[in-house]
Amino acid sequence: MTFLQDASHADESTFLPWCEANRLGVRRFDEEHARMAALIGHLHATMIVRRDKPLSLKVFERLILETRRHFDGEEALMEELGYPALEAHSAEHARLITEAEEMARNYGLGHISALALPEFLRKWLLHHIDTCDRAYTDFFRTHGIP
């Protein structure tokens, strides 16, 4: 069993429950956002409930990898369709990845408390979806992206 398959703890699904209000209506990205939310819940459980720093670092690394893949996919589709705010959206993605990598590094070094990280990441994901990503939904729909 991998560290991502062990998601049976209630704390993982309740820390950042995925609900209809979080959906953008772009199926592919909604599914990716839901996976990222699950990873943040898993990170919360490994950091706060299990207090397993080595596992937490692996989960954090996986979250960054999944986030990078998601951002790359969004940007590729935006470029293909000629999304007018691609440059600004890409800059926000780069800033968020840099911030997450710095947080993971500082957590690994013991400079950031495990108590602060999961809540920050929860707000980080939801804010990005509600502001930056919600701005592209109409554009994608007009281009036939379900």
- pTM summary value: 0.84
Q: What is the pLDDT of residues 35-48, one digit of tens each?
A: 999 999 999 999 98
Name which CATH class applies to 23-142.
mainly alpha
* Torsion of Cα atoms, 60 then 48 then 96 then 70, to 10°: 50
Domain boundaries, the chain: 23-142
Q: What is the pLDDT of residues 69-84, one digit of tens each?
A: 999 999 999 999 999 9
